[in-house]
């Protein structure tokens, strides 16, 4: 059911499909040993600041190359039709900007993956269930109607990154294609589902995505060191299962998570969910078994945190979002370039799939601006 691939290192040119060339070049050259030679650039690009959230460490560039390539190549697996779902738990770093690191994120693998998908799929839906707003991805696609971004996150009280109000809805051609669901502390499984299901149902109805990218940040789980939500692994995974149920090609990514025991539990369980595989509640013995005591169980329980999201507040947020989505007259048609992805680095045994992609050229069952209606 599952193929496992060893990640390669993304090329500078691939990272440059979104990020500024000078920023990529800086990341490739700076190390803790030569940091004194890059003092101005470190400040400019928000890397290595004392007490900052984007530290400089040995192997930084290799790290970003690997996690970015995982998302890029995951997108390509979908484009060739080789896989219906691709998973990169090392990815999902949604805060990185075009020329700046932010929030533990240096390269925005999500944007790079979406840009790959847009070379084949007319419309891509991005869904973010991290406790933090997916600001870097929203910003990258804020003025286009080919990508809809939907972020469920804590908002207010100065919580990082401070963006993602329900009124932030995109601009220009992208107006109403940025969807923000601002939440308060302590939201539980039931309350989360009561918003997630109707919002995503409406999004699927009006946008009709050709592919989906789902960021599964685990800092929205109960007991996270930074997050203040109260979701269980089952509640979090229910979102993954719900999106999977639409049967649209899907790239599943990781994200935040500051309780490593909860993160491991969550993404192990969600891997089973995308596979449609039941797994035992008891964690099997492994090299890290002692980390999961004292109960050694897969699922985590909610804490006693109060849910600050009243029914009235949740209903008002839902009404506003649905009203915004009703402003859209339907899924946009697009002009598509009949070109393969730049730098398609197929493995030897994937050559046939690459040829298949070149033959298909465009996603099936789609109407493009230069098409004629068969009835005309």
List active site positions: 95
- The Cα 66–Cα 69 span in angstroms is 5
- The Cα 79–Cα 178 span in angstroms is 24
- The Cα 63–Cα 259 span in angstroms is 21
Peptide bond into 294 cis (omega under 30): yes
Q: How is residue 73 written in tokens? A: 């190549």
| Residues sharing a CB contact under 8 Å with residue 8, sequence separation 6 or more, in sequence order | 66, 69, 73, 345
The SS3 assignment for 122 reads coil
- The Cα 283–Cα 289 span in angstroms is 8
Task: Pick the closest to residue 79 from 297, 368, 376, 356 (CA basis).
Answer: 356
- The two beta strands, 147-154 and 124-128, are parallel
Q: How is residue 226 written in tokens? A: 């930074």
Phi-psi region of 155 (alpha: psi -120 to 50; beta: other; left: phi over 0): beta
Residue environment code for 224-234, b if the CB has 16+ CB neighbours within 10 A, otherwise e:
beebbbbbbbe
| Residues sharing a CB contact under 8 Å with residue 5, sequence separation 6 or more, in sequence order | 73
- Strands in 178-183's sheet, in edge-to-edge order, are 85-88, 250-253, 211-215, 124-128, 147-154, 178-183
- The Cα 315–Cα 294 span in angstroms is 39
- Phi/psi at 22 (5° precision): -65, -30
């Amino acid at each position: 059911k599952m193929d496992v691939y060893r990640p390669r290192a993304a090329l500078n040119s691939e990272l440059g499909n979104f990020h500024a060339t000078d920023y990529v070049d800086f990341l490739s050259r700076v190390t803790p040993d030569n940091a004194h030679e890059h003092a101005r650039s470190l400040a400019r690009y928000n890397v290595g600041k004392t007490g900052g959230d984007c530290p400089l460490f040995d192997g930084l560039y290799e790290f970003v190359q690997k996690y970015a390539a995982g998302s890029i190549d995951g997108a390509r697996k979908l484009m060739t039709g080789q896989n219906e779902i691709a998973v990169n738990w090392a990815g999902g770093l949604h805060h990185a900007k075009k020329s700046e690191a932010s929030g533990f994120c240096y390269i925005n693998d999500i944007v790079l993956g979406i840009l790959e998908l847009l070379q084949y799929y007319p419309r891509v839906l991005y869904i973010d269930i991290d406790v933090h707003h997916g600001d870097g991805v929203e910003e990258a696609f804020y003025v286009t109607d080919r990508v809809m971004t939907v972020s469920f996150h804590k908002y207010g009280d100065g919580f990082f990154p401070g963006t993602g109000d329900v009124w932030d809805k995109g601009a220009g051609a992208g107006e109403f294609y940025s969807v923000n669901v601002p939440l308060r502390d302590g939201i539980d499984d039931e309350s989360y589902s009561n918003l997630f299901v109707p919002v995503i149902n409406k999004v699927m109805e009006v946008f009709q995505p050709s592919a989906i990218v789902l960021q599964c940040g685990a800092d929205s789980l109960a007991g996270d060191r930074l997050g203040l939500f109260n979701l269980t692994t089952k509640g979090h995974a229910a979102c993954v299962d719900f999106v999977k149920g639409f049967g649209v090609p899907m790239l599943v990514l990781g994200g935040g998570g500051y309780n490593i025991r909860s993160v491991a539990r969550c993404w192990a369980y969600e891997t089973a969910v995308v596979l449609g595989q039941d797994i035992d509640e008891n964690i099997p013995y492994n090299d890290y078994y002692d980390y999961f005591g004292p109960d050694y169980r897969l699922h985590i329980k909610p804490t006693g945190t109060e849910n600050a999201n009243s029914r009235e507040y949740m209903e008002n947020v839902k009404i506003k979002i649905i009203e915004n989505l009703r402003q859209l007259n339907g899924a946009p048609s697009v002009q598509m370039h009949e070109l393969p992805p730049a730098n398609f680095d197929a493995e030897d045994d994937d050559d046939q799939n690459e040829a298949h992609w070149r033959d298909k050229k465009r996603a099936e069952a789609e109407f493009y601006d230069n098409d004629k209606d068969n009835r005309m």
